[in-house]
């Protein structure tokens, strides 16, 4: 989403949105980016503006353009993943959500974007349930959370259920146990939709947590993009000596 009344040029707003999707891993290395025509139609801008966006991504080494092959992501994160205990991570997450309230903005079935389909290992014509919530504490919005669940897992995931129970717990109660998860934490700028939901200025810095959860068969059944206010939310990482018992732990904290 772009803000046509903002001082920032429209092409740069679109560039930042695509850049953040690349940096967060939503658009992984080797994935195809939209064509100029697709960008033009999605954002209702001219082909000249769309071309400038793609040129900027190419010049900043986020993407590579090849004739007849399109534009693909060439950025690879230098970060090395570490292992952590998923049960501890889930416990920390549930402890955090118990301190907050949630407003369910949307729960609907829809067709996934190519990036969502790729993360959930489904086809672009396979429906997903999309759930949008805002978490608050003491009346102050903290997080704008968007989750996707493949249709095969979505029965029972309703607005009423999400109004009182975290989506991971709802799915667990339905018999889908989290065996493994991939999580990425990155910084980005809030677009107008997120800014409005979190009551912050447009393009404010926020923390974005991407999480893909897998079952015992290593089938992804939940994809979540959580956006948190950087002035109200932090992540603490508990580290231990290699010889000590336990594993690293991510602990969300409210500032």
160: domain CATH number is 3.40.1410.10
Q: Quick one: pLDDT at residue 115? A: 83
Are the beta carbons of 128 and 155 closer than 8 angstroms?
Answer: no
- Contacting residues for 96 by C-beta, under 8 A, at least 6 apart: 252, 254
Q: Are residues 167 and 97 in the same domain?
A: yes
Are the beta carbons of 69 and 229 closer than 8 angstroms?
Answer: no
Maximal C-alpha separation, the chain: 59
Mean pLDDT of 92-96: 68
The whole model's pTM is what?
Answer: 0.74
Q: Are residues 69 and 90 in the same domain?
A: no
Task: Report the number of distinct structural domains present in the chain.
Answer: 2
Using alpha carbons only, what angle is made at residue 42 by residues 37 and 47, rounded to the nearest 5 degrees? Answer: 35
Whether the per-residue pLDDT at 189 is higher than 90: the answer is no
Query: Is the residue at 179 inside a domain?
Result: yes
Whether the per-residue pLDDT at 2 is higher than 90: the answer is no
Per-residue pLDDT band at 76 (split at 50, 70, 90) = confident
Report the range of poorest mean pLDDT among 30-34, 140-144, 248-252.
248-252
C-alpha span between 41 and 49 (Å, rounded): 11
Q: Are residues 19 and 115 in the same domain?
A: no
Q: Quick one: pLDDT at residue 203? A: 80
């Amino acid at each position: 989403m772009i803000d046509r009344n903002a001082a920032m040029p429209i092409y740069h707003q679109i560039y930042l949105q695509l850049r953040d999707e690349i940096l967060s891993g939503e658009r992984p290395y080797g994935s195809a980016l939209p064509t100029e025509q697709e960008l033009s139609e999605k954002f209702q801008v001219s082909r000249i503006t769309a071309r400038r966006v793609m040129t900027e991504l190419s010049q900043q080494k986020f993407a590579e353009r090849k004739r007849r092959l399109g534009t693909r992501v060439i950025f690879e994160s230098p970060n090395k993943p570490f292992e952590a205990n998923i049960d501890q991570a889930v416990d920390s997450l549930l402890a955090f959500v118990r301190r907050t309230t949630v407003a369910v903005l949307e729960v609907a079935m829809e067709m996934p974007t190519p990036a969502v389909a790729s993360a959930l290992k489904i086809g672009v014509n396979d429906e997903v349930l999309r759930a949008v919530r805002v978490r608050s504490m003491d009346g102050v919005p903290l997080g704008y959370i968007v989750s996707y669940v493949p249709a095969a897992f979505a029965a029972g995931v309703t607005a009423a259920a999400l109004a009182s129970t975290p989506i991971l717990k709802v799915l667990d109660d339905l018999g889908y146990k989290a065996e493994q998860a991939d999580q990425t934490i990155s910084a980005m700028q809030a677009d107008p939709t997120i800014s409005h939901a979190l009551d912050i200025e447009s393009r404010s810095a926020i923390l974005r947590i991407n999480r893909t959860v897998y079952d015992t068969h290593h089938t992804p059944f939940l994809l979540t993009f959580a956006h948190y206010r950087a002035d109200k939310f932090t992540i603490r990482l508990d580290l231990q000596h290699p010889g000590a018992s336990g594993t690293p732990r991510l602990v969300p904290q409210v500032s």
